[in-house]
Amino acid sequence: SDSFENSESLCKKIISSSCGTIAVAESFTGGHLASRTVSVPCASKVFYEGIVAYSEEAKAKRLGVSRESLKTNKPVSSQVAGEMAEGLLKERESDFVVATTGLAGPQSDESGFPVGLCYIAVGSAQGVTVYKYKFDGNREEITEKGVQTALFLAIKGVKNI
């Protein structure tokens, strides 16, 4: 229910702030952020789109993440999270964006980064800010913590527009 309250709070904040629409680009949260956001009645007024760009190819093709960033920084990086958010903003259809990339486990990938490492980017025309986290728990718990944190950052970010 915390997540529902956060989602509802996010929708209300976006509507009351007149900041327009929100879009999300998700990797490790796998669509859960979009799902939580559209679970509240007011969502149709503010939610523009949700993209689950799980693979490197999808991040590059759908969001314009540079292949160089994917290769050099790896998909789970501040650089890639920021480029995912910028890709959503570039379309100029959404006023506020959130992007998630991370390792939910149970094992790491070829990067060798620790399970639980994630980056959440929030942005608007004023710019994009990326936050780094290291969540503990199993795959489901890490994903849930990522969704909750992304909602919190989105609410905080909308207040600042």
d(CA 97, CA 84): 9
d(CA 65, CA 53): 10
pLDDT, one tens digit for every residue, the chain (161 residues): 566 577 677 667 766 666 688 999 999 999 999 998 888 888 888 889 999 999 999 999 999 999 999 999 999 999 999 999 999 999 888 999 999 999 999 988 888 899 999 999 999 999 999 999 999 999 999 999 999 999 989 888 877 76
Residue 88, pLDDT score:
96
d(CA 153, CA 135): 15
Q: What is the DSSP letter of 29?
A: T
Residue 17, pLDDT score:
65
Give pTM, 2 decimals. Answer: 0.91
Residue 135, pLDDT score:
97
